[in-house]
Amino acid sequence: MEEDLLARRARAEHEAWLGEVEGIDLTRQKREEAKRLARIAPVELGIPVIAGRR
């Protein structure tokens, strides 16, 4: 998939499709952010307790 994005970006640059270049860059940034977030362990928030209820 990365190879495809790089090839599309190269063509978009060659054709001066600035919006396409920006969109491809944004896609790559989002993919990297998703990979980074996937490596972070989830945080245990516990079970909520409503005060005053029995």
The pLDDT value given to residue 19: 96
- Residue 27 falls inside a structural domain: yes
The answer as to whether 49 is a domain residue is no
Please check whether residue 8 lies inside any domain of the structure.
yes
Domain count, the chain: 1
| CB 23 within 8 Å of CB 31 | no
17 in a structural domain:
yes
Task: Please report whether residue 51 resides in a domain.
Answer: no
Residue 31 lies in a domain: yes
Whether 19 maps to a domain, the answer reads yes
pLDDT, tens digit, for every residue of 4-53? 989 999 999 999 999 999 999 999 999 999 999 889 888 888 898 888 76
* Residue matched to tokens 């790089």: 6
CA-to-CA distance for 49 and 28, rounded, in angstroms? Answer: 41
| Domain contains 44 | no
Provide the pLDDT for residue 10.
96
HSE toward the beta carbon, residue 21, CA cutoff 13 A: 9
pTM of the complete model: 0.64
- Return the pLDDT at 42: 83
The 3-state secondary structure of 41-52 reads: CCCCCCCCCCCC
- Domain span at residue 17 reads 2-39
